[in-house]
Amino acid sequence: MSDLEVRQLRYFVAVAEELHFGRAADRLGMAQPPLSRAIRTLERHLDVRLLERTTRRVELTPAGEALLRDARTALDAVAAADRRARNAGRPAPSLRLALKADYDAGLLPLILAAYQPHEAALPVELTLGGRGDQDPALRDGRADVAILPAPFDRHGLDSEPLLTEPRLVAMAAGDPLAARASLRLADLAGRSLPDGTFADMEGRPSGREGAGMSPPRGARSWDLAQIFNLVELGDIIWFLPVSLARRYPRPGIAYRTVADLAPSELHIAWPRDCRSRPVAAFVDAAMTVAAASFPRIDGRPRMTG
Amino acid sequence: MSDLEVRQLRYFVAVAEELHFGRAADRLGMAQPPLSRAIRTLERHLDVRLLERTTRRVELTPAGEALLRDARTALDAVAAADRRARNAGRPAPSLRLALKADYDAGLLPLILAAYQPHEAALPVELTLGGRGDQDPALRDGRADVAILPAPFDRHGLDSEPLLTEPRLVAMAAGDPLAARASLRLADLAGRSLPDGTFADMEGRPSGREGAGMSPPRGARSWDLAQIFNLVELGDIIWFLPVSLARRYPRPGIAYRTVADLAPSELHIAWPRDCRSRPVAAFVDAAMTVAAASFPRIDGRPRMTG
DNA sequence: ATCACTCATATCGCCAGGGTATCAATCGCG
DNA sequence: CGCGATTGATACCCTGGCGATATGAGTGAT
């Protein structure tokens, strides 16, 4: 009759992800036997078989798959409770803004200027994360609000689009394609992108969900300087919003328009059912600024898609 | 460095709700000293003061208020993981539909008939709950989908309106007002309703949230037969949707229209971010049936408000 | 000043949960 | 077909966390 415990969920998630008791125990920093026992206890507690296991293979039952999903969100919720309580207890609580470095389309100073005077405003603390780390940060309470490019995993979040801006391709200045008058995605087929995918896969959803998921775990995360270096060397090409291209003019790199390259959508996102006034005020400031400053980005009226 | 545990959250919620260590310990079925110690441990772990306590009073700090909210949703998420895994593990998993008894506007047989042929359909299991028990049931995993009248607490849920139907007032047949040609809410001032509130408070949000909250904990829940008896005796009056009035014609009870009584909105709700095909199919069936059958309810086109 | 109330501290005992050693089952290989 | 390697399960011990009881100490009311 006792309760499900966080530890049991953590253990189960580790085993379900590794599909291997030894490695999971390793990851959890414990020995394998107590882990086996804990899973068994969990199964008895739920009166459900979660893993079908032989000595050579471990696989999830349907119930296990269901629990894996629910356990992840439950663990996120617990972690969020932890982190938010910590932040709320600090003498001067701050608004933690998660941002992909430089992916603010130049709006950040304007947004901050619009936000600070608000009566509910808190000091803003920037949390710069790698690619695809903004949305998880919101879910597990590391951040209160995030500005990030679509697509991202909307699970557990509310969001609003801030602005849409065209993207350019960055390539080495000496690249033969840089001399072309116009480019299409097809011309870039086979070129590799910073995340290891290829240019002609651009925009295609990788997972089953059309809503757009974060890149898979383990995707390499580069910082901007690294990317620019690789581009200049001709190793990769890169798609980036015009605002970012303007911020980093560089002799060795050519920026070109690509006729059929989807534009970039910058969104602002926050935890669902968030009742925090500072967050609401920040979202409001960001949307106001974005709406007002958009014409400066490319001179055309706002559009989506 | 250890993790936040479910037990700690349960303890904290109990104390935060009771604002009294003794009563909270009582509710948790334990002694007071270990509870005090557990809270102290939790505070040290989070490095935050959650409760300001003297020997005579206990009150929440801002951090405590934040944690109370987050802890409740985290506990709901854990309970949901538990219950959903249990259900998914059953040899024949079912779709658990939470329903306020008889509040289906006569749609239930039609919805079931529309749902059963669907390829993703599961056997439907009815969970009849008392007043205001449908939405919590969704949040903690006791149910997969619910049909319930607005307003309800939308926190953590997605929902769609099914239909809007006028409400009538039920009163004793001998009531002087039953003879009146037309009624307004003001005429009913002072009459008490089944939930202990008064007729002239009808429709006013009790909490701070305009979104509409569930009735407060501890609100008495009556079954229909009890309510009808009390109405017939003249102890109370009752507002109910026309479909319900038609289902229970009764000599001792008069049903009358009230000109300024807000209509009843029936909604279908399910846990947010639900990826279950059976649930999606059920929602689809319900909305189709509601849209198709609505003209039969009152002959007018659908409207809201 | 005393009493009642309530939260904190001290101390003890138990068992949940982790560690080590070992067994048992399955697959690969010659 | 037999042997070894791999991997999950079982047996057993032991520590630390958690709960209970007894008691202390601060505060408000009469």
CB of A40 lies under 7 Å from some atom of strand D: yes
Which residues 12 to 31 of A reach strand C, CB within 7 A?
A: 29-31
Kindly determine whether residue B48 and residue A9, on different chains, have CB atoms separated by under 8 Å: no
Confidence of residue A213 (pLDDT cuts 50, 70, 90): very low
Confidence of residue B208 (pLDDT cuts 50, 70, 90): very low
Do A207 and A282 touch, CB atoms closer than 8 A? Answer: no
Which residues 13 to 72 of B reach strand D, CB within 7 A?
A: 29-35, 37-38, 41, 54-56
Kindly determine whether residue A78 and residue B4, on different chains, have CB atoms separated by under 8 Å: yes
Confidence of residue B291 (pLDDT cuts 50, 70, 90): confident
Which range in A253-257, B1-5, B42-46 is most confidently predicted, on average pLDDT? B42-46
Q: Which of A3, A10, A71 sits opposite B7 (nearest CB)?
A: A3
CA-atom Rg of chain B in angstroms = 23
Query: Gap from B229 CA to D11 C1', in Å?
Result: 65
Q: Which residues of chain B neighbour A96 with C-beta distances below 8 Å?
A: none
Say yes or no to pLDDT of A146 above 90. yes
Phi, psi of B114 (to 5 degrees): -75, -30
The amino acid sitting at A41 is T
What tokens were used for B168? 């009538």
Q: For residue B35, count other CB atoms closer than 10 A to its CB.
A: 20
Nucleotide nearest to B2 (CA to C1'): D17
Specify the CATH number for A167-209+221-257; select among 3.40.50.2000, 3.40.190.10, 1.10.10.10, 3.30.930.10. 3.40.190.10
Say yes or no to pLDDT of B296 above 50. no
| Interior angle at CA A106, CA A105 and CA A107, nearest 5 | 90
Cα separation, B264 vs B163, in Å, equals: 8
Confidence of residue B273 (pLDDT cuts 50, 70, 90): confident
CA torsion sign, B209 to B211 to B217 to B219?
positive
pLDDT of residue B81: 94
Q: Which of B63, B74, B89 sits opposite A46 (nearest CB)?
A: B89
3-state DSSP helix/strand/coil % of chain B, to nearest 5? 40, 20, 40
In CATH, the number for domain A6-81 is: 1.10.10.10
CB of A36 lies under 7 Å from some atom of strand D: yes
Q: Which residues of chain A neighbour B6 with C-beta distances below 8 Å?
A: 3-6, 78
Contacts of B205 (CB under 8 A, 6+ apart): B151, B212, B213
Per mean pLDDT, which range of A65-74, A207-216, B20-29 is the poorest? A207-216
H or E element at residue B7: helix B6-18
What tokens were used for A136? 């998880």
**B90-165+264-298 and B167-257 share one CATH topology?**
yes
Do A235 and A171 touch, CB atoms closer than 8 A? Answer: no
Kindly determine whether residue A273 and residue B78, on different chains, have CB atoms separated by under 8 Å: no
The amino acid sitting at A252 is G
pLDDT of residue B214: 43
Contacts of B268 (CB under 8 A, 6+ apart): B145, B146, B147, B159, B160, B162, B283, B286, B287
pLDDT in tens, A272-298: 878 788 999 999 999 988 888 655 444
Cα separation, A115 vs A109, in Å, equals: 10
Predicted TM-score (pTM) of the model is: 0.76
Say yes or no to pLDDT of A203 above 70. no
For chain C, which bases have at least one atom within 7 A of a protein Cβ? 5-11, 17-22, 24-27
Chain A residue with the nearest C-alpha to that of B79: A4
Supply the DSSP string of chain A, one letter for each residue.
Answer: -----HHHHHHHHHHHHHS-HHHHHHHHTS-HHHHHHHHHHHHHHHTS--EEE-SS-EEE-HHHHHHHHHHHHHHHHHHHHHHHHHHHHSSS--EEEEEETTTTTT-HHHHHHHHTTSTT---EEEEEE-TT-HHHHHHTTS-SEEEEESP---TTEEEEEEEEE-EEEEEETT-GGGG-S-B-GGGGTTPBPTTS-BGGGTT--SSS-TT--PPPTT-----HHHHHHHHHTTS--EEEEHHHHHH---TTEEEEEBTTPPPEEEEEEEETT---HHHHHHHHHHHHHHHHHHHHHHSS-----
What tokens were used for A192? 């590799």
* Homologous superfamily of B167-257: Periplasmic binding protein-like II (3.40.190.10)
Nucleotide nearest to B40 (CA to C1'): C8
Confidence of residue A37 (pLDDT cuts 50, 70, 90): very high
Cα separation, A213 vs A205, in Å, equals: 8
Say yes or no to pLDDT of B278 above 70. yes
Supply the DSSP string of A33-67, one letter for each residue.
Answer: HHHHHHHHHHHHHHTS--EEE-SS-EEE-HHHHHH
Average model confidence (pLDDT) for chain B?
80
Per mean pLDDT, which range of A10-24, A110-124, B125-139, B273-287 is the poorest? B125-139
- In this complex, is the C-beta atom of B52 within 8 Å of any C-beta atom belonging to chain A? no
pLDDT of residue B25: 94
Q: How far apart are the first and last CA of chain A?
A: 52
Kindly determine whether residue B89 and residue A9, on different chains, have CB atoms separated by under 8 Å: no
pLDDT of residue A227: 75
pLDDT of residue A237: 81
Distance from CA of A65 to the nearest CA of B (A): 9
pLDDT of residue A152: 86
Confidence of residue A214 (pLDDT cuts 50, 70, 90): very low
Do B145 and B138 touch, CB atoms closer than 8 A? Answer: yes
The amino acid sitting at A291 is A
Q: Which of B69, B71, B81 sits opposite A9 (nearest CB)?
A: B81
Query: Gap from B2 CA to D12 C1', in Å?
Result: 27
Distance from CA of A131 to the nearest CA of B (A): 23
As to burial, measured by CB atoms within 10 angstroms (0-12 exposed, 13-18 middle, 19+ buried), residue B218 is: exposed
Q: Does residue B199 or residue B253 have the better pLDDT?
A: B253
pLDDT of residue B115: 93
- In this complex, is the C-beta atom of A85 within 8 Å of any C-beta atom belonging to chain B? yes
Q: Which residues of chain B neighbour A73 with C-beta distances below 8 Å?
A: 77, 81, 273
CB of A33 lies under 7 Å from some atom of strand C: yes
Query: Gap from B56 CA to C12 C1', in Å?
Result: 29
Percent pLDDT > 70 in chain B is 83
* Homologous superfamily of A90-165+264-298: Periplasmic binding protein-like II (3.40.190.10)
Q: Which of B69, B80, B88 sits opposite A63 (nearest CB)?
A: B88
**Nearest-CA residue to the C1' of C18?**
A34
Supply the DSSP symbol for B3.
P
CA-atom Rg of chain A in angstroms = 23
Q: Whose CA is closest to A215, among A133, A101, A99?
A: A133
pLDDT in tens, A64-110: 999 999 999 999 999 999 999 998 888 778 899 998 877 777 788 88
Place of tokens 């125990």: A25
CB of B86 lies under 7 Å from some atom of strand C: no
Q: Which of B3, B9, B49 sits opposite A7 (nearest CB)?
A: B3
Give B21-26's long-range contacts (Cβ < 8 A, gap of 24+). Answer: B21/B53, B21/B58
pLDDT of residue A76: 92
Do A108 and A243 touch, CB atoms closer than 8 A? Answer: no
pLDDT of residue A241: 82
Distance of CA B5 to the CA centre of its chain: 28
Cis amide bond preceding A151, omega within 30: yes
Q: Which of B7, B67, B273 sits opposite A156 (nearest CB)?
A: B273
Confidence of residue B277 (pLDDT cuts 50, 70, 90): confident
Percent pLDDT > 90 in chain B is 34
Residue range B24-49: mean pLDDT, rounded? 93
Cis amide bond preceding B33, omega within 30: no
Do A64 and B86 touch, CB atoms closer than 8 A? Answer: no
Cα separation, A180 vs A176, in Å, equals: 7
pLDDT of residue B51: 93
Say yes or no to pLDDT of A205 above 70. no
Distance from CA of B294 to the nearest CA of A (A): 32
Domain locations in chain A?
A: 6-81, 90-165+264-298, 167-209+221-257
Phi, psi of B165 (to 5 degrees): -135, 150
Query: Gap from B58 CA to D28 C1', in Å?
Result: 15
Residue range B263-275: mean pLDDT, rounded? 87
What tokens were used for A210? 């059309």
- Best interface-test mutation with B: which of A82, A94, A157, A159 has the largest number of B CBs within 10 A? A82
Query: Gap from A26 CA to C19 C1', in Å?
Result: 14
Query: In sequence order, what are the beta bridge partners of B167?
Result: B241
Cα separation, B8 vs B48, in Å, equals: 14
Do A148 and A226 touch, CB atoms closer than 8 A? Answer: no
Per mean pLDDT, which range of A170-184, B20-34, B79-93, B265-279 is the poorest? A170-184
Supply the DSSP symbol for B276.
-
Per mean pLDDT, which range of A102-111, A218-227, B259-268 is the poorest? A218-227
CB of B2 lies under 7 Å from some atom of strand D: no
Confidence of residue A190 (pLDDT cuts 50, 70, 90): low
Distance from CA of B53 to the nearest CA of A (A): 16
